[in-house]
Amino acid sequence: MLTSLKSKFIVSFVSIEIIFFALIIALNFNSLHTASQTLTNEKVQASSELLVELIKTPLIVLDLATIDDAIKSFSKIKGVIAVEVIDNDGRTLSSYLKKDSLLPQSFQRHLQEGRQRVRYDKQSYRFHGFDIIVEDEKIGHINFAFNTTKTNIIIQDNENLTYFLTVLALIIGFLVAYLIGYRLEQSLKQLTTIAQHVANDEQVKIPHNINSKNEMGELFKAMHTMQEHISQRTQNLNHSINDLQQFIKALDHSAIVSKTDAKGVITYVNSRFCETSGYSEDELIGKTHRIIRHPDIDAGFFTELWKTISSKHVFQAIFLNRNKKGGDYYVDASIVPLLDNDGNISQYIAIRYEVTDLINARNKALAAQKAKGEFLSNMSHEIRTPMNAILGFAQILQKNITDEKNLSYLNLIEGSSQTLLHIINEILDFSKIESGKLVIDTHPFDPLFELSQASKFFMIGARDKSIRYLAYIDPTLPPCIEGDLTRIKQIMFNFLSNAFKFTPENKTIRIDVTYLKEEETLHIAIKDEGIGISQEAQHKIFNTFEQEDSSTTRKFGGTGLGLAISSKLTELMGGEIKLESTQGEGSTFSVSLPLSTCPVLEKPLTPNQNLRERSIGFITAKEHDEEIIQLIKQYLKTLRLTKINDNVDPENSKDDIIVFIPDGSIEKKVKALHVPALALLPVECDLCNEAQKIAPLVAPYTALDLINALNSFYPESTKSSDEESISSTTTFTGTVLVAEDNKTNQLLIQILLDEYGLTYTFANDGLEAVEALKSSRYDLILMDENMPNMTGVQAVGKIREYEKPMQCRPTPIVALTANVMEEDKKRFSDAGMNDFLAKPIDTVELERVLKRFLA
Amino acid sequence: MKYILSALSLCYLTTSLLQADIIMGVVPQQSPLKLLKVWKPVADHLSKKTGEKVTFKTEKSIEKFAQALYNGAYDFAYVNPHQYIIAHQKQGYLAKIRAEKNIRGILVMKYGTDIKKLKDKNARYLFPSPTAFAATLLTKYDLIQRYNVSIETLNNAHYVNSHDSVYKGISRGVGDVGGGIERTFRNISDSKLKNDIHIVHVTPAYPSHPFVFKADMNERHKEAIGDALLNIPKSLLNTLSIKKLKKINHSEYDSVQALMLKLQITSK
Q: Terminus-to-terminus CA distance in chain A, angstroms? A: 115
pLDDT in tens, A104-150: 777 777 777 776 777 777 778 888 888 999 888 899 999 888 888 77
* Residue B35 sits in the same domain as residue B151: no
Is B264 a member of any domain?
Answer: no
Residue A74 has pLDDT above 50, yes or no: yes
Identify whether residues B16 and B97 lie together within a single domain. Answer: yes
Residues B92 and B223 in one domain: yes
CB contact under 8 A, B159 and A61: yes
**Which domain range does residue B163 map to?**
105-202
Q: Write out the DSSP string of A189-201.
A: HHHHHHHHHHHTT
Confidence of residue A482 (pLDDT cuts 50, 70, 90): very high
Please give the pLDDT value at position A725: 42
pLDDT digits (tens, 9 = 90+) for B204-223: 988 988 999 999 999 999 99
- Residues from chain A contacting residue B172 (CB–CB below 8 Å): 64, 91-94
Q: Tell me, what's the ipTM?
A: 0.71
Q: Is residue B52 in a domain?
A: yes
Q: Are residues B115 and B94 in the same domain?
A: no
Question: What pLDDT, on the 0 to 100 scale, is given for residue A251?
Answer: 83
- CB-nearest to A65 from B158, B159, B165 is B165
- B190 and B230 together in one domain: no
**pLDDT tens profile A178-230:** 888 888 888 888 888 888 888 887 888 877 777 777 787 888 888 888 888 88
For residue A594, what pLDDT is reported?
95
Supply the DSSP symbol for B121. Answer: T
A·B CB contacts under 8 A: 55
Picking from B160, B182, B202, the residue at the C-terminal end of a domain is: B202
Percent of chain B with pLDDT over 90: 49
Q: How many C-alpha atoms does A394 have within 13 Å on its Cβ side?
A: 20
Q: Are A28 and A159 in contact (CB under 8 A)?
A: no
Higher confidence at residue B202 or residue A603? B202
CA A318, CA A141: separation in Å to the nearest integer? 130
Mean pLDDT for the stretch of residues A423-445: 80
Chain B: nearest CA to A144, how far in angstroms? Answer: 19
Predicted pLDDT of residue A720: 44
Residue B233 has pLDDT above 50, yes or no: yes
Q: Are residues B198 and B114 in the same domain?
A: yes
Asked if residue B44 is part of any domain, the answer here is yes
pLDDT of the residue at A642: 83
At residue B87, does pLDDT exceed 90?
yes
Last residue of a domain, one of B164, B181, B202: B202
| B155 assigned to some structural domain | yes
User: How long, in residues, is chain B?
Assistant: 268
CATH number at residue B131: 3.40.190.10
A202 three-state secondary structure: coil
Least Cα distance to A701 among A682, A676, A715 occurs for A682
Number of domains in chain B: 2
pLDDT in tens, A779-818: 999 999 999 899 999 999 999 999 988 877 899 999 999 8
Q: How confident is the model at residue B266 (pLDDT cuts 50, 70, 90)?
A: very low
For range A566-594, the mean pLDDT: 93
In this structure, the answer to whether residues B23 and B42 fall within a common structural domain is yes
Q: What is the structure's pLDDT at B56?
A: 93
A370-398 pLDDT, tens digit per residue, is 787 777 777 777 888 888 888 888 888 88
pLDDT of residue A384: 81
- The domain boundary, picked from B155, B177, B202, lies at B202
With cut-offs at 50, 70 and 90, classify the pLDDT of residue A736: very high
CB A523 within 8 A of CB A515: yes
Residues of A within 8 A of B31 (CB-CB) are 65-66, 68-69
Q: pLDDT per residue over A810-852, tens digit each? A: 999 999 998 877 778 889 999 999 999 988 888 888 988 999 8
B142 and B98 share one domain: no
Q: Do A61 and B30 touch (CB under 8 A)?
A: no
Residue A719 has pLDDT above 50, yes or no: no
Pair B116, B160 in one domain: yes
Q: Return the ∠ at Cα B233 (arms to B227 and B239), rounded to 5°.
A: 115
Averaged pLDDT for residues A474-503? 90
Residue B156 belongs to a domain = yes
Interface of B with A (CB under 8 A): 30-34, 60-61, 126, 158-162, 164-165, 168-169, 172-175
> Do residues B28 and B88 both lie within one domain?
yes
Strands of A262-378 (E only): list them.
266-269, 315-322, 328-339, 345-354
> A123 to chain B nearest CA, in Å?
29
Q: Which residues of B fall within a CB distance of 8 Å from A87? A: 174
- List C-alpha distances in Å: B166 to A92, A400, A409, B60, B129: 15, 187, 187, 15, 10
User: A131-135, A249-253, A256-260 — which is least confidently predicted?
Assistant: A249-253
Give yes or no: residues B198 and B213 share one domain: no
Residues B153 and B215 placed together within one structural domain of the fold: no
Q: What is the pLDDT of residues A333-346, one digit of tens each?
A: 999 999 999 999 99
Cβ atoms of residues B154 and B205 within 8 Å:
no
* Residue A593 contacts B where some CB pair is shorter than 8 Å: no
The mean of the pLDDT values for chain A is: 85
Q: What percent of chain A has pLDDT over 90?
A: 29
Q: What average pLDDT score do residues A538-550 get?
A: 66
Interchain contact A64–B (C-beta under 8 A): yes
| Residue B262 domain flag | no
Residue B17: partners with Cβ closer than 8 Å, 6 or more residues away: none
Task: Report yes or no on B175 lying in a domain.
Answer: yes
The pTM of this model reads 0.45
**B160/A62 Cβ within 8 A:** yes
The whole-angstrom distance between A62's CA and the closest CA on chain B is: 5
